[in-house]
């Protein structure tokens, strides 16, 4: 949430004639809201699947444009990750292999949301590695105690000590001090691409396209990189249009893990 809020604020400073209204929720929930008649000019998703489904539903008015990317890490509670300590469940987690150990309480996002699907993909990739072995997946999945509706719920349970570890986006841990992070090997990780598209029933079409140009410009990319996202090559710089005076742009965004207090997938 903080990232898109910062992008919107920077955009409005360059284009004071446009007011950006952001609505945050999980990617799947936002898509369903749009399918049931919610109005917006833009839809941004935390994965390409929800955007594809939006396209199939006839919601999009143009091609989706990738604007940032993310990867997964494992968030570990301070107690479970301590060098000389254990969590209240008795778990000690210092490596990815430890996630399959006894007494570990693991939490994932629901597989219907992007973070949940990405987590399962990572687990399957690790299990295919001889270093972990095929039994790793079954042992790890047996430790799941909760599947949250969004990645924010995963991080909250780990932060509160209700779970020992959980798969979250790398950007989620950017500003959290009391959570440890286990890196996922590049060969087993995912490239979570975030697309954005103008909706078919967009009212402020010109402003919506201008916002996408800003989002994918070097300045928009830097804001995302500053928040822990992976940047994309984006040479475009947005240019103002004199006909865009006094426009309001409604946006429904499901962004990276990231919205503190919001519900994102």
Angle between helices 2-14 and 218-226 (to 10 degrees): 150
Distance CA 60, CA 82 (A): 48
Tokens of residue 142, six digits:
């047996």
pLDDT reported for residue 238: 34
Tokens of residue 231, six digits:
């940047």
Strand residue runs (E) in 25-135: 42-44, 65-70, 72-77, 106-109
How far is residue 199 CA from its own chain's centroid?
A: 20
CA distances from 54 to 7, 37, 57, 172, 192 (A): 24, 13, 5, 25, 18
Select from 3.40.190.10, 3.90.1150.10, 3.40.50.740, 3.30.70.1710 the CATH code of 72-188.
Answer: 3.40.190.10
Query: Per residue of the chain (265 residues), what is the pLDDT tens digit?
Result: 788 899 999 999 999 988 899 988 888 889 999 999 999 999 999 889 999 999 999 999 999 999 999 999 999 998 876 654 455 556 789 999 999 998 999 999 999 888 999 999 999 999 999 999 999 999 999 999 999 988 889 999 999 999 999 999 999 888 787 889 999 999 999 988 999 999 999 999 999 999 999 999 999 999 999 988 987 754 333 333 333 332 233 343 433 222 222 234 6
Q: Starting from the edge strand earliest in sequence, which strands make up the sheet with 179-183, in order?
A: 144-148, 106-109, 165-169, 72-77, 179-183
pLDDT reported for residue 175: 73
DSSP 199: B
Q: What are phi and psi of 231, to 5 degrees?
A: -80, 160
Q: Is 182 helix (H, G, I), strand (E, B) or coil?
A: strand
Q: Is 158 helix (H, G, I), strand (E, B) or coil?
A: helix
Distance CA 13, CA 190 (A): 35
pLDDT reported for residue 265: 61
Closest CA to 110 of 160, 151, 155, 49: 151
pLDDT reported for residue 46: 86
Distance CA 78, CA 93 (A): 10
């Amino acid at each position: 949430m903080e990232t898109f809020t910062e992008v919107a604020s920077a955009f409005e400073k360059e284009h004071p004639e446009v007011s950006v209204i952001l609505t945050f929720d999980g990617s799947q929930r936002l898509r369903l809201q749009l399918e049931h008649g919610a109005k917006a000019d833009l839809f941004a998703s935390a994965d390409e699947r929800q955007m594809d489904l939006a396209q199939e539903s006839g919601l999009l008015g143009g091609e989706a444009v990738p604007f940032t990317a993310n990867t997964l890490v494992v968030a570990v509670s301070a107690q479970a990750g301590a060098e000389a300590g254990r969590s209240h469940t008795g778990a000690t987690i210092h490596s990815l292999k430890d996630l399959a150990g006894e007494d570990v309480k693991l939490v994932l996002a629901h597989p219907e949301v992007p973070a949940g699907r990405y987590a399962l993909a990572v687990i399957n990739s690790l299990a295919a590695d001889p270093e972990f072995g095929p039994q790793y997946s079954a042992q790890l999945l047996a430790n799941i105690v909760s599947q949250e509706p969004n990645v924010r719920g995963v991080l909250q349970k780990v932060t509160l000590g209700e779970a020992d570890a959980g798969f979250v986006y790398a950007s989620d841990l950017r500003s959290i001090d009391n959570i440890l992070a286990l890196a996922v090997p590049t060969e087993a990780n995912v490239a979570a691409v975030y697309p954005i598209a103008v909706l078919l029933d967009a009212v402020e079409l010109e402003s919506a396209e201008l916002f996408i140009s800003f989002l994918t410009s070097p300045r928009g990319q830097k804001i995302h990189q500053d928040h822990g996202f992976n940047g994309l090559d984006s040479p475009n710089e947005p240019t103002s249009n004199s006909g865009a005076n006094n426009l309001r742009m409604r946006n429904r965004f499901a962004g990276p893990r990231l919205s503190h207090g919001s519900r994102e997938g």
